Structure 1
Amino acid sequence: MGENNYNAENIKSLKGLEAVRKRPAMYIGSTSSAGLHHLVYEIVDNSIDEALAGYCDTIDVTIHRDNSITIQDNGRGIPVDYHEEEGMSALELVVCTLHAGGKFDNSNYKVSGGLHGVGVSCVNALSAKFYAEVYRNGTIYAMHFVRGEKTEELQEIGTTDKTGTIITFTPDHEIFETLEYSFDILSQRLRELAFLNKGITINLFDEREADKEHHFSYPGGLVSFIEYLDENKHPLHEEPVHFIYTGKDDAGEDLEIEVAFQYNDTYKENIFSFANNINTREGGTHLTGFRQGLTRALTKYIDDNGLLKTKNIKISGEDLREGMTAVISVKLTDPQFEGQTKQKLGNSGVTKLVAQNVRENLVTYLEENPQIAKKIVEKSINSAVAREAARKARQLARRKSVMDGGGLPGKLADCSEKDPAKSEIFIVEGDSAGGSAKSGRSRETQAILPLKGKIINVEKARPDKVIANDEIQAMIQAFGTGFGEDFNMSKLRYHKIIIMADADVDGAHISTLLLTFFFRHMPELIESGYVYKSCPPLYKAKAGKKEEFLFNDAALEEFKQRHPNQKVTYQRFKGLGEMNPDQLATTTMNPETRKVLQVRLEDVVEADRIFTMLMGEEVPPRRKFIEDNAKKVSNLDI
C-alpha cells in the first residue's frame, strides 16, 4: 500500500460564499435553465415576504437586453445600518453571508418563503455582477459586488421620499449552462404569486422585444386562480368553493389555510398546492389533509342522504376528485420543506388542521347547496363505474397480450438492447413510414411502433374508453409501464420515446393527440425527460454536387444564397414515407445526425389550459388561438 498522506492539509474550509460557487446545485437545484430562473425567484420571494408583512404592493421585474435582471419593490428596503457584531452594514451582511437575514426573527416576518437565509446571498455568489440599491431613511444607498465579493463600501448616492429595494444582477457564465431567460417561464411563476397574494401587482418587462410585458393583479386571489385554470372547461357549478381559516397550529404559531376548488366535466383532477407561496409540486401534508377532508365530507354527505343506490360500487377518493380543479395554499410561521428547492411540505400537524377545516367547511357547503352536491355526487358515482370498467379493460388487455405471445404488441419491431437507458422507441405515423423506419433503424438500440390511424382524443374520453383503444394498448404494452392504477415507472423499457410524424396538418394533429395522452395519463414520462419529438427535414436541396437536407424555408433561402451562381433544385417532403430508409435514418433517426426536441413541462398551468383549449369541447377559445397565432405559422402543408 502507498503512504497515507491524509492529514489536516487535506481538509478544505470554504469561506464566505465559496461553497455556493463550488456546489451551486446544492443551493439552487441545478446550473441549467431551471437554476438560472431560480435566481429570479429567490429575489422576488424576498419582495413577496415584504408584501406578506404588509409593506409592499408592487414588484417590477425587468429582463434587460444582455439577460441581466432587475427586480424592484416598494417595501421597506433592506436595512443598511451598521451591524456591530459582524462589523459591516446590514446590507453587506445579507448579501454576502449565508443564513443571514430577517427571516429568523418572527417579529419581522410572520410568514416567509425564503426560510434558509441563503436566497439573495446565493444570487450574489452566482452573479458576474450584482448591484443593490436601497431606498430607506430618505436616502438612496448603493453597493456593487462581483462574484459574491464587494467592490466598494456602502455608498449614499442621493435622496428620496420612497422606500424599497432594487436588485440588478448578471448571471455568471462560469456557472450556468445557459444565460438566456425565458419570458414565459418567468411569467408562469409571477402569475402564480399574484394569484396567491391578492392585492399585489407584479409587472414583467422584456427589453429584448419591443412592448413585450405582462401585468399580473388578481383581486379575487385563489378564486381568480380557479377561474383562470377552468377558463376553457365546463364547470358543474358557476362559483368556485372558497374558504379561509386563520388561527394557530399545534405549536401555537400563526397559520392560514386557504382553499378554492371547482368541479368541471373533465375526467382528471387538477390540484395545485402551495406553502408560503412556494409551489410544492410534490405535495405534502397540506395536500394530504385536503384530500382527507374532502373524502370525509363527501362520503358523509353520500351516506347521510342515502345517495349510493348500488352496493357493489365502492367510491374512492380518486372518484370524488374526478374533474376537480383545486388550489390549496397554507401560510405558516415555521414550514418544514424537503431541501432548499422546497418541493414538499413536511409539517405533520398541518394534515389534521387542513383536513378538519376542509371537512367542516365542505359539509356546510354541501348542505347549503344541495343541487351542486347532487351534481358532484353523480359525477363521483359515474367515475367509480368507469374506473371499474377500466380495471376490467386492463385485465382483458393483459390476458390478450399473454395469449398473443408474451406481452409485446405484434406490430412492435423491438430492439435487442435490454438496458432502458440505451434504448429508444419511435412512435411512427402509418405503415409506410413504419416500413422505412424499420429498414433504416439500428436494430440494437431502436424499436419501431407504427400506429394505424389516430389515437382516441383522451381529453374527451373516460379512462375506460382510453384503455380500450387498440393503438393506446399497443403503446402501453410496448412501454411496459402499465396504465392508470397499474402504472409503474420502473418498468419502462425505453428512456427515449420519440414521436415521429409527418410535417403536415395530419402529422401535427397526431403529435398533439399523443402529447395529450402522455400529459393526461403518463405525465411522469414527460417530467422525467423521456418524451421527444423528431424533426424530419422539409426539403432536400441540391446545387451542383452539393446536397443538403433542410428543415425550414429560411434554411432553403440561405442555401440558395450560398450558391448564387449555380442552379438550385429542391424536393419538398410531404411525408416520412417519401424518404427512403437511408434518408430517413440520416435525417431523423441516427443520433449523430438527427435533430430531436425534448418535450419539457415548464408551466403545468399553461400546459393544462392549452391542451384543454386545443383538444377540449369548447370551440371559441380554439378559434381565437388559431386567429391569434396564424401569422406565426410557417411550413404549413395542408
Structure 2
Amino acid sequence: MAEIDYSDDSIRSLDWKEHIRLRPGMYIGKLGDGSAYDDGIYVLLKEILDNSIDEFVMGSGRTIEVTVTDKRVSIRDYGRGIPLGKVIDCVSKINTGGKYDSKAFQKSVGLNGVGTKAVNALSSSFSVQSYRDGRTKKAEFEQGVLVNDQPETETTQRNGTAVVFYADDTIFRHYHYIPEFVESMIWNYVFLNSGLTINFNGTKYFSERGLYDLLTRNTDVETIRYPIIHLKGDDIEVAMTHGQQYGEEYYSFVNG
C-alpha cells in the first residue's frame, strides 16, 4: 500500500462558516429533508426562536410572529432588539453574544453563542434587522457571507428583532417544513412560557396556566383519577395526574 502523504500542506484552518458548513451535524444534528421532527431544518427555526423566547423571559416582548411559507422562515419579536452596533457580530462572529453577561440575561435558552451563526452559515439567504429606540439596522448574508450592510436609519417600528432565512438546499436537499411539527414546537414554547403569545401563520398560540395546560391538552380529562396537581416556583414547574393506563408518560423540560 502506497504511503499517504501527511505534511504541512495537509493541515487546514477553517473560518467559522466553513467549519459549520463542512460539519453541520455538529451544530444542528440531522440533515434530513424535514420529514422527521428532529431534522436540522427545525433546529434552525428553533435556534432563532430561542433568542426571541429569551427576550420574553427577560420581560421584553409578549408576542412573537412566526411565518413559515414554503422554504422561507420569518421570525419577528418585540424584545429589546440587538444593540445596533453589534447586529453583524451577533450573527457572524462565533462565540459572540449577550448571554455571557448575567446582567443582560439572567436566564436564557441559548448560552454558547453559536446558534444564530449556524443558521446564518447554513442558509442560502439570511437577513437580520434590529429595531431599537427609533433606529434600525439591517444586514443580509448568503451562506454566512455578508452581502449587504445597510447603514442605520430612523424607524417608527416597535423595538425588537426580525430574522428571515432560507435553509440552504445544497445542504438540506429537497427539504420542506411540515406545519404539524412546527405547531408542536410552538405549543411547547407557550406551555413553558405562560403569558407568551406566538402567532404562527396567522393562528395565535397562548397558554395561561403553563404545564397545567400541557397536561390538559395531552390527557383525556374524563379518564384521569383526580384533578391535575400544578406546582410552580421560580426555577421549576411540575404538573401531574394519574389516568387509567398502566404505563407512564413524562414530559420533562430543562433550561426552558
TM range (shorter): over 0.9
The offset of 1:194, in angstroms, is: 0.2
The match for 1:15 is 15
Of 226, 231, 245, 2:233 maps to: 245
The one-letter code of the counterpart of 1:269 is: E
Corresponding residue number in structure 2 for 1:214: 203
Paired position in structure 2 for 1:131: 127
Instruction: Report the Cα distance in structure 2 between the residues aligned to 1:111 and 1:232, rounded to whole angstroms.
Output: 33
Question: Contact between 2:84 and 2:136, CA under 8 Å: does it hold in 1?
Answer: no
CA distance in 2, matches of 1:181, 1:222: 26
- What SS class does the counterpart of residue 184 from structure 1 fall into? helix
| Paired residues for 1:84-103 under 5 Å | 90-103=86-99
**Matching residue's letter, 2:64:** I
- TM-score w.r.t. structure 1 length? 0.38
28, 33, 44: which one aligns with 2:49:
44
8 Å CA contact 1:47, 1:75 repeated in 2: yes
Given that 1:62 and 1:71 are in contact with CA atoms closer than 8 Å, whether structure 2 keeps it comes out as yes
Q: How many residues align?
A: 251
Distance 2:221 2:233 in 1: 30
SS of the equivalent of 1:145 reads strand
State the alpha-carbon separation in 1 of the partners of residues 187 and 130 from structure 2. 25
The alpha carbon displacement at 1:117 in A equals 1.3
RMSD of equivalent CA atoms:
1.6
Corresponding position: 1:58 with 2:47: no
Structure 2 contact 47–115 (Cα < 8 Å) conserved: yes
Q: Which amino acid aligns with 2:67?
A: T
Contact 1:127 / 1:172 at 8 angstroms: preserved in 2?
yes
1:477 corresponds to: none
Structure 1 residue 5: Cα displacement: 3.1
Separation in structure 2 between the aligned mates of residue 39 and residue 241 of structure 1, nearest angstrom: 35
Q: Give per-residue Cα distances to partners, 1:465-501, cap 9 Å, x unaligned.
A: xxxxxxxxxxxxxxxxxxxxxxxxxxxxxxxxxxxxx
SS at match of 2:236: strand
Give 3-state SS (helix, strand or coil) of 1:181's partner: coil
SS of match in other structure, 1:264? coil
Task: Report the 3-state secondary structure (helix = DSSP H, G, I; strand = E; otherwise coil) of the residue aligned with 2:212.
Answer: helix
| Bigger relative CO (Cα 8 Å, ≥ 6 apart) | 2
Cα displacement (A) at 1:155: 2.4
Contact 1:222 1:260 (8 Å CA) reproduced: yes
Residue in structure 2 matched with residue 164 of structure 1 by the alignment: 160
Corresponding residue of 1:78: 82
Q: In structure 2, what is the Cα distance between the partners aligned to 1:92 and 1:120?
A: 11
The structure number with the bigger radius of gyration is 1
Q: Secondary structure at the match of 1:95?
A: helix
SS in 2 for 1:272: coil
* 1:97 to 1:233, Cα distance in 2 relative to 1, 3 A: farther
Per the alignment, residue 40 of structure 2 pairs with 35
Which segments of structure 1 move beyond 4 Å, counting only runs of 4 or more? Answer: 1-4
Offset from partner CA, 1:355-404 (integer Å, 9 cap, x none): xxxxxxxxxxxxxxxxxxxxxxxxxxxxxxxxxxxxxxxxxxxxxxxxxx
Cα separation, 1, equivalents of 2:230 and 2:79: 29
How far 1:63 sits from its partner (Å)?
Answer: 1.2
Q: Which has the higher helix share?
A: 1
Q: Which residue in 2 is equivalent to 1:204? A: 200
SS in 1 for 2:253: strand
Whole-Å Cα distance in 1 between the matches of residues 204 and 135 of structure 2?
29
Conserved 8 A contact 2:87-2:137: no
In the alignment, which residue of structure 1 is the partner of 2:243?
264
Unmatched tracts of structure 2, length 5 or more:
none
**Aligned-partner Cα distance in 1 for 2:19–2:30:** 14
SS in 2 for 1:215: strand
Q: Contact conserved, 1:129 with 1:169, CA < 8 A, in 2? A: yes
Q: Which one-letter code corresponds to 1:244 in the other structure?
A: K
Return the alpha-carbon distance in structure 2 between the equivalents of residues 153 and 73 of structure 1.
Answer: 21
